[in-house]
């Protein structure tokens, strides 16, 4: 396989291999925090930030700690520990630095600790053998892709809440999953452009 | 032939095969934990800040939630969910020092409350000099330790508990208020819970409280109080809470209660002077199913004799054949109209189950008491 440019990885992780719409990771918070655009934006930005930071941190943990010690099989537990600690640190920093930022973003950080998209992105960069810069581009791009997906859904949901009558059997997660499926089908249209898997 | 040298080498490899992963994960976790501790030490240290509550100013350590900061200053804000932003009991009015409203608060506040700067004290943190406003009576709320002094069976499922206060040694409360009793961990129950019980004693006895408790099948706190609590043991409770107390007017009083709902009514009646009782002519309707659910009748008859104006009306809804009952029969809502007609000059004091209360509120309104003059304490 030829070496992928970082821009290809970046755009592919947003569109053709969107972590949510093609890998279905990070669904829980996607479904529960997508009622309003404002909160979806807050959570989405928090995901972008945490995903970028943890991808880089876990790159170092994997290649500079686990690989030299032949402990690759411990990647799951190591990644989770790193993610949890980093999220807590970031929350404290945000809390200290800016109340406004804390109200808009910090409050969502604990929710993200258990978001599987974050762990997923760290695991993908190992599976796909990215180098440091590629990992950075991939983490940042995947975060943006997740943000794009939740904003699209939140936009549709808030419009739907005002105008549409949903049949009772499909109310709540039912119709949301159907909408997500249709958006995902739309995103498959991009996949002809580039494949990073 | 066994190569003796291979044995120690083998076991060493086995040990290191186990040690290296364990050690590396442990050291990674330790490193991150130390990082967080350092960050906590330097980032979360806001020093000492001034917290003004109504007209008092406290010097407090900054960085904690308002609810916990106040608790450290012995100011107890009601809270039932333990700071998880679900019960919405811990609302306070923030005057200054708190940043904009958090997304975790908005679902639990009304538009008017948001406009009024009402906040959830479990969500906002005290970081700079701040000022809040709370109802003055919350200052009175303390955590008390007390000794169980006596346990008396009133009926087969209602008991009277008397507690002698240890620390603080005195309690100031209005007759009709309640406390939150802390049921400790016991037996298979591994959580400590708070349950509200009305005080039923005379509030002039400041060194003790009395509770009337009905056993709730499978109830965590009542099972503790009925099956585990012994005379002489220590308990913890906080209080007093509640706005069910005697209003200072000259209006006639209609009191209605069922079961252990007698507690606050008894407390109010014990607190009233005989002149007050003569002037306000309280009628107390007490509903029970059968004679075995009836209690303290002698005490109420005695009170009637001592105080001109008081009428006690026990009513049995379904007396047993061998109850030998010659008093009122029927539900309280059927009995009340037999005694009173126009209640437009009255105040209503009700306490009991939601079913009883809702029926009685409707009846009293239809008999002419304005709704805002009906005070009640609903057991839920």
Q: Do A96 and B43 touch (CB under 8 A)?
A: yes
Nearest residue on chain B to A83, alpha-carbon basis: B32
Rounded to a whole number of angstroms, the CA Rg of chain A reads 17
Q: What is the pLDDT of residues B261-316, one digit of tens each?
A: 999 999 999 999 888 898 999 999 999 999 999 999 999 999 999 998 999 999 99
Tens digit of pLDDT per residue, chain A (197 long)? 456 788 888 988 888 888 898 888 988 888 878 888 888 888 888 889 899 999 999 999 999 989 998 888 889 999 999 999 988 888 888 888 777 778 777 777 777 777 889 999 999 999 988 999 999 999 999 999 999 999 999 999 989 888 888 888 888 888 999 999 999 998 888 877 776 65
| Min distance A158 CA to chain B CA atoms (Å) | 16
- Comparing alpha-carbon positions, the chain B residue that sits nearest to A102 is B102
The CA distance from B329 to B314, in Å, is 9
Least CB–CB distance from A85: residue in B25, B35, B103? B35
List of chain B residues whose C-beta atoms are within 8 Å of the C-beta of residue A85: 32-33, 35-36
C-alpha to C-alpha distance for A61 and A78, rounded to whole angstroms: 8
> Chain A: nearest CA to B18, how far in angstroms?
11
Partner-chain contact A82 B32, CB within 8 Å: yes
Contact B100 A78 (CB under 8 A): no
Long-range CB pairs of B72-80, under 8 A, 24+ apart, other chains included: B74/B142, B74/B143, B75/B134, B75/B138, B75/B139, B75/B141, B76/B138, B76/B141, B76/B142, B76/B143, B76/B238, B77/B121, B77/B134, B77/B138, B78/B241, B79/B121, B79/B122, B80/B194
The answer to whether A92 contacts B101, with C-beta atoms less than 8 Å apart, is no
Residues on chain B touching A82 (C-beta within 8 angstroms) = 28, 32
Tell whether ipTM is more than 0.95.
no
B24–A100 CB contact, under 8 Å:
no
B252-378 matches B142-241 in CATH topology: no
CATH architecture for residues B252-378: 3-Layer(aba) Sandwich (3.40)
pLDDT band at residue B92 using 50, 70 and 90 as cut-offs: very high
CB-closest option in B32, B40, B127 to A92: B40
Which positions 84-123 of B are in contact with A (Cβ < 8 Å)? 99-104
CATH for the stretch B48-138: 3.10.20.30
Q: Which residue has 């620390």 as its token pair?
A: B167
Inter-chain Cβ pairs, chain A and chain B, closer than 8 A: 59
Supply the pLDDT for residue B380: 61
Flag if A81 and B28 touch (Cβ within 8 Å): yes
Q: Which fold has domain B142-241?
A: Elongation Factor Tu (Ef-tu); domain 3 (2.40.30)
Of the listed ranges A66-75, B27-36, B83-92, B244-253, the least confidently predicted one is B83-92
* DSSP E strands, chain B: 48-53, 56-61, 91-96, 118-120, 130-133, 142-153, 158-167, 178-183, 193-198, 208-214, 234-241, 252-258, 283-288, 311-316, 328-329, 346-352, 374-378
Domain definitions of chain B by residue range: 48-138, 142-241, 252-378
Please give the C-alpha separations between residue B85 and each of B95, B102, B159, B229, B346, in angstroms, as whole numbers: 20, 11, 35, 32, 40
């Amino acid at each position: 396989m030829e070496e992928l440019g970082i821009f290809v990885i970046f755009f592919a992780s947003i569109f053709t291999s969107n972590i949510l719409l093609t890998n279905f990771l990070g669904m829980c918070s996607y479904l529960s925090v997508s009622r309003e655009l404002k909160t979806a934006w807050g959570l989405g930005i928090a995901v972008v930030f945490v995903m970028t930071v943890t991808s880089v941190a876990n790159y170092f943990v994997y290649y500079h700690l686990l690989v030299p010690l032949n402990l690759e099989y411990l990647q799951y537990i190591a990644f989770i520990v790193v993610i949890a600690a980093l999220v807590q640190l970031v929350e404290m920093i945000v809390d200290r630095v800016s109340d406004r930022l804390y109200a808009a973003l910090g409050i969502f950080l604990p929710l993200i600790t258990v978001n599987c998209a974050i762990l997923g992105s760290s695991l993908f960069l190992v599976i796909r053998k990215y180098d440091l810069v590629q990992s950075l581009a991939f983490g940042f791009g995947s975060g943006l892709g997740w943000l794009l997906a939740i904003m699209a859904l939140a936009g549709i949901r808030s419009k739907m809440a005002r105008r549409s009558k949903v049949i009772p059997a499909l109310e709540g997660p039912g119709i949301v999953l159907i909408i997500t499926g249709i958006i995902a089908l739309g995103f498959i249209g991009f996949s002809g452009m580039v494949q990073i898997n | 032939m066994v190569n003796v040298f291979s044995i120690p080498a083998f076991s060493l490899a086995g040990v290191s095969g186990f040690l290296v992963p364990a050690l590396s994960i442990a050291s990674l976790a330790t490193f991150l934990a130390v990082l967080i501790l350092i960050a906590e030490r330097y980032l979360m240290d806001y020093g000492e800040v001034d917290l003004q509550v109504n007209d008092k100013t406290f010097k407090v350590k900054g960085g904690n939630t308002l609810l916990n900061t106040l608790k450290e200053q012995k100011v107890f804000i009601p809270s039932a969910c333990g700071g998880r932003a679900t019960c919405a009991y811990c609302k306070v009015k923030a005057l200054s020092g708190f940043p904009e409203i958090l997304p975790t608060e908005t679902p639990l506040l009304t538009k008017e409350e948001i406009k009024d700067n009402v906040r959830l004290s479990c969500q906002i943190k005290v970081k700079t000099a701040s000022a809040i406003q709370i109802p003055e009576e919350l200052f009175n709320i303390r955590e008390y330790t007390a000794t169980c002094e006596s346990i008396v069976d009133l009926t087969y499922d209602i008991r009277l508990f008397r507690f002698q206060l240890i620390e603080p040694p005195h309690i100031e409360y209005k007759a009709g208020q309640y406390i939150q009793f802390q049921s400790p961990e016991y037996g298979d129950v591994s959580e400590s819970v708070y349950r509200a019980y009305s005080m039923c004693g005379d509030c002039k006895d400041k060194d003790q409280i009395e509770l009337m408790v009905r056993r709730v099948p499978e109830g965590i706190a009542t099972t503790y109080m009925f099956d585990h609590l012994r005379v002489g043991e220590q308990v913890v409770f906080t209080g007093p809470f509640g706005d069910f107390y005697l209003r200072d007017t000259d209006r006639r009083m209609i009191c209605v209660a069922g079961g252990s709902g007698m507690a606050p009514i008894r407390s109010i009646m014990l607190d009233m002077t005989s002149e007050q009782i003569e002037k306000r002519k309280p009628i107390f309707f007490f509903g029970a199913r059968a004679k075995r659910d009836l209690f303290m009748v002698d005490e109420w008859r005695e009170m009637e004799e001592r105080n001109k104006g008081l009428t006690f009306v026990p009513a049995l809804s379904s007396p047993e054949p061998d109850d030998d009952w010659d008093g009122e029969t029927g539900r309280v809502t059927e009995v009340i109209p037999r005694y009173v007609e126009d209640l437009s000059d009255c105040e209503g004091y009700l306490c009991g189950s939601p079913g009883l209360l809702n029926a009685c509120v409707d009846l009293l309104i239809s008999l002419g008491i304005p709704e805002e003059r009906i005070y009640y304490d609903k057991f839920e």
